Amino acid sequence: MTIRALVAALGSTALLVGLSACGSPSEAASPTEGQAQPMQADTVRTRDLWVKAVDGGMSAGFGRLTNTGSADVVLTSTASNISSDMELHVTGPDEEGQMVMSPHEAGFLIAPGDTLVLEPGGDHLMFMEVQKPVGPGDTVDLTLTFEDGSAVDVTAPAKDFTGADEEYVPGTHE
């Protein structure tokens, strides 16, 4: 056997061994029987989190939550060190076209690969009863809890912000 034929044979063998070890993409992406899915909190990445600075009363939290996993995740609640009452809020027009905020009891669904954008004038985390002043540059501790009971602790800086003059839907909150 010539050297050229030997090198070609070895290269073909290595290629076949490498391909057989890889398996199909669907096998690699799906968990094996009995293997648990990762907790929802483990697949969510946060970015650009911030909280509106306030002296008291109400405030809101904003940022981006990206689902890096292969299954839907649902943010169901949040808690904070500055407020004893928090809600997930959606913002949209009422019957007269006025922008209003209302609690979103079902939670925020984030599909695999998607990003939930929490922003002024849109969906956000609502601090209903801020218990102490939060100034620009202060940090706010948040716990984000997901449908499967998993949670992630994050920290967000407070920033000055004026705008997003939404109103509450009458009767949705005292």
Q: Report the distance separating Cα 127 and Cα 58, nearest Å.
A: 5
Q: Where do we find the tokens 């849109």? A: 122
pLDDT at position 11, please?
42
Per domain, the residue ranges of the chain are 40-168
Nearest to 71 by CA among 37, 95, 118: 37
pLDDT at position 173, please?
39
pLDDT at position 36, please?
63
Give the pLDDT of the chain (174 residues) as one tens digit per residue: 444 443 344 344 333 334 334 433 333 344 445 556 789 999 999 999 999 999 999 999 999 999 999 999 999 999 999 999 999 999 888 889 888 888 999 999 999 999 999 999 899 999 999 999 999 999 999 999 999 999 999 999 999 987 654 444 434 433
Q: Which CATH number does 40-168 carry?
A: 2.60.40.1890
Q: Which long-range contacts (CB under 8 A, 24 or more apart) does 103-110 make?
A: 103/172, 103/173, 106/74, 107/74, 107/75, 107/76, 107/77, 107/147, 108/65, 108/74, 108/75, 109/72, 109/73, 109/74, 110/44, 110/65, 110/66, 110/67, 110/72, 110/73, 110/74, 110/75
**DSSP conformational letter for 12:** H
Amino acid code (one letter) for 170: P
Q: What is the pTM of this model?
A: 0.72
pLDDT at position 110, please?
98
